[in-house]
Amino acid sequence: MFGLGTTELIVIGVIIFLIFGAKRIPEIGKGLGGAIREFRNIKKEINVDDEPKKEAKDNKDEKPENPLGLENKLAEKVMEQVPGVKTAMDVKKKVDKVKKFVG
């Protein structure tokens, strides 16, 4: 795995433990696990949705869905699972609302 030995992994683990503390590490692990699970679920949904699109390519009347919209939805769902990022996203949304109101 990236040429890392046991001692390097132990040093990285100790540094992470010192930075985040014992209480935060399980929360971060839970958030990352949920994010990975959500990513897999969305990937499955996209793969299932792609099959009808392949059939619909014969019909040129239909517009293809914007892939950037899917990426944004995926990124938003994944980021909501990581602790601390969800609150930052909420603050950003509030700031955007205030900017719209003021400007």
Q: Tell me, yes or no, whether 8 lies in a domain.
A: no
Q: Tell me, yes or no, whether 18 lies in a domain.
A: no
Domain hosting 93: range is 32-102
Span 52-93, pLDDT tens digits: 655 555 555 555 555 566 677 777 777 777 777 777 778 888
The mean pLDDT value of the chain amounts to: 77
Q: Tell me, yes or no, whether 88 lies in a domain.
A: yes
Q: Tell me, yes or no, whether 13 lies in a domain.
A: no
What is the sign of the dihedral through the CA atoms of 48, 52, 55 and 59? negative
Q: Tell me, yes or no, whether 3 lies in a domain.
A: no
Please tell me the predicted confidence (pLDDT) of residue 57.
Answer: 55
Structural domain count of the chain:
1
* In the chain, % of residues over pLDDT 90: 2
Angle between helix 85-102 and 67-81 (nearest 10): 120
pTM score, two decimals? Answer: 0.41
Model confidence band, residue 51 (pLDDT cutoffs 50, 70, 90) = low
